[in-house]
Amino acid sequence: MPLPPPMGGLMEEWEEGMGESSSPPHPMAMGHGSLKDKDPEELKRRLYERVVESRRPEELPEEASVFLRHLGRLPIRYLIDLGIDRADDVLLHWRILTLCAHPDNRPVFHARFQKCITVPAAKFDDDDDPCQSLMEDLSLERRNKGRAGVGADNTDSMSISSRDKKTLLLHEIIFSSLDKPKLLSRLTALLSEVGLNIREAHVYSTTDGFCLDVFVVDGWETEETEDLITTIKEALSRKNVGDSEIDWNLLTMGEKIATGSFADLYQGSYNGVDVAVKILRDSHFNNSSVNHENVLQFYGACTRPPKYCIVTEYMPGGNLYNFLHMQNNVLDLLTILRIAIGISKGMDYLHRNNIIHRDLKTANLLIGRDQVVKIADFGVARQGNQEGQMTAETGTYRWMAPEIINHKPYDHKADVFSFAIILWELTTSKVPYDNMTPLQAALGVRQGFRLEIPSSVHPRLSKLIRRCWDEDPDVRAVFAEILIELEDILHQAQANRGSSRRSRAKMQKKTPG
């Protein structure tokens, strides 16, 4: 999007005097004086007509009202900046903001090559003030554009020899997320970190709390954008840009779902999206930056007094404990394996990121759509220390590893022990040690007592459970091994089921009608 940059003395005002939701003043609006004087609704209508004329029907929103609402959520300045001839840009921005509406997609960004420009090489080699150099280059480019058609190219070729020129590739980066304080400064720092120089920046806020930030940058040495997108994604994951502080005023609280020792859990909504809101009784909480399909998605947190809360995705199926023991569900082998594989994938991800859950149990496993299970409640989760072991009792007795019960040093293998208990629950649909109090169960585990595995349990699952709750943590498998074993059992079970179905079909054909 080749929008003009802030010029001269306006740069300081942009950096210091304007809010996060503002865009630097620029001459484009002045260049569209006739548009600036138009009624906003007329601008929207004309822009929509131009979009319809230039695109195929399948590329457009189903109804004109959808597109007009999109334009209405953006400031009038956006319409003036773009004019009525930028149908491609407007449709791209609409698609980006539509993606951004779903929390799982945030933050959304798009990168595309824009054009090549030629500038004096000395500006990048010897200048002590890169900002001043940037302003001079942009002024020179604008003056050259003004001389177009009256020998500007000849003048350039005479004043700057080819050996003193440097060719720069310009790319456009478009970013969208929830509009939050200091987001712009975090974005500019991120682009700088990956070696990009910002030549233009245009920042828009929507009326429903999102941002649409457009940067024109140089510093990427190829027109291809695939590697650029990968590089930005990696930087985004390191910086966690677009997440963190939640505005309490944008939260709508619903009914209370559950009450715990440290927090109350509510159903709610944030910017129109269903969420779960955990209201903390003090300001201490663990905000581990994780992103995996089998780990509950963290949206943000309120960390300013007097409101402390964590906002996550809402899981309509409740927790696995209630699913098994309150609803009395008995699972078949394929369902057991699919759930166990999902848990293993999530735990493998956490352990590879050096996060030990420390309270893994069915009550902390939430069920989403299509029975996808996600690991939740990191209230006691923590990073492993340098020695790879920790001490002090934490967790829940019925799922607790013996080394924790005994107040011995422990590491990620404590989670593997807890997983063995969960796997036993899945195969039996029973509460662990249901004839004992939690303390009696802990004392039994401490003395080597283990749950009885029914003979009906798949023999390979039975063997895996025994290995995972072994007294010696070194004997227990890691989740990468557990995952391989479970997937192999699943493939075998699916193949056996397919063979059985084919055999029954053959028998039915042979049976006389």
How far is 451 from 267, CA to CA, in rounded Å? 36
* Alpha-helical regions (H) of 244-332: 320-321
Instruction: Return the SS3 of 232.
Output: helix
| Known catalytic residue at 129 | no
Query: Which residue in the block uniquely carries the two structure tokens 């509510």?
Result: 266
How far is 377 from 361, CA to CA, in rounded Å? 10
Region for residue 271 given its phi and psi (left: phi exceeds 0; alpha: psi -120 to 50; beta: otherwise): left
Q: Pairing state of beta strands 108-120 and 309-313?
A: unpaired
Instruction: Return the SS3 of 5.
Output: coil
Q: Which residues of 421-453 are buried (b: 16+ CB within 10 A; e: fewer)?
A: bbbbbbbbeeebbeeeeeeebbeebeeeeebeb
Closest CA to 465 of 452, 456, 448: 452
Instruction: Please identify which of the residues 89, 137, 213, 359 carries the catalytic annotation.
Output: 359
Backbone phi, psi, residue 407, to 5°: 55, 35
Tell me: cis bond preceding 438? Omega within 30 of 0 counts.
no
Q: 295: which strand partners?
A: 375
How far is 348 from 155, CA to CA, in rounded Å? 63
Q: 409 Cβ partners below 8 Å, 6+ apart?
A: 387, 389, 390, 391, 403
Residues constituting the chain = 513
Q: Which positions are annotated as active-site residues?
A: 359
